[in-house]
Amino acid sequence: MYTGERSDAPEQPSHVAIIMDGNGRWAESRGLPRLQGHKRGADRVREIVEACPDLAITHLTLFAFSTENWKRPPSEVIGLMRLFRRYIKKEGARLVAEGVRVRFIGGREALDADLRALMAGLEMQTAGNDQLHLTVAINYGGRDEILRATRRVAEAVRAGRLLATEISPEVIERHLDTAGLPDPDLILRTSGEFRVSGFLPWQSAYSEFAFVDTRWPDFTAEIFAAQVRGFARRERRFGAVAG
């Protein structure tokens, strides 16, 4: 959520967003097919989701598939899509029971109809939950999200529902896929790369970043907790001076 204000710092991160990187390298370094790394990565998703309540994390956002990931070999893309289906079918009931609210962000039209239906079904089933807000980015790219939001804002102006002078950060935010979600406090990337790959560019304007060497399939709840504790020691100023 856009506030542009200084918050009380230091604090516990309540929204953590993760770029789950390194599945392929994890598998290749063991002589395994890359998909084995993704499968192991899916197991980590469960572990990290379950770790959130104890860490007072109320929002977890995961980058599962980017708009660039379609360029991977078809077998890997198909395997990942199969993994998303399986995750929803296998974990869906547990997420419902544990009070997790699931949302998906990203362009859906490029996804198969059956996967889209599973995603919409889980969103509906969990709509009343609020123990943890789990947002999964599939076919997500930050530029693509901002482009789609801009088109919707332009359409509102064209239709006379909005004046161009009324376009504010709040208006843009309401048209993003993440409308209604708070901005991430901490963005974490695994596997040692120092880049953000188009993940939440609008929403991360005031986020802290953490880059860890561990590959996602080896990323445990303990490592997660250590990163969260490290965040709590930082002081966030949101452009203001220390008080």
Residue 61 binds ligand FPP (CB under 6 A): no
Total length of the chain: 243
- The answer to the question of residue 24 lying near ligand FPP (CB under 6 A) is yes
Among 60, 102, 136, 212, binds ligand FPP (CB under 6 A): 136
Position of minimal CB gap to ligand FPP? 24
Q: Which stretch binds ligand FPP (CB under 6 A): 81-89, 97-105, 154-162, 231-239?
A: 81-89
Rounded Cα distance, 231 and 238, in Å: 15
**Nearer to ligand FPP by C-beta: 76 or 208?**
76
Exposure class string for 172-186: b at 16+ Cβ within 10 A, else e: bbebbbbeebebbbb
Binding of ligand FPP at residue 22 (CB under 6 A)? yes
Alpha carbon distance 48, 221 (integer Å): 6
Q: What residues act catalytically?
A: 21, 69
- Alpha helices by DSSP H, listed for 98-232, are 113-125, 142-158, 169-175, 221-232
Binding footprint of ligand FPP on the chain (CB under 6 A): 20-25, 38, 41-42, 45, 62, 64, 69, 80, 83-84, 87, 136, 191, 216
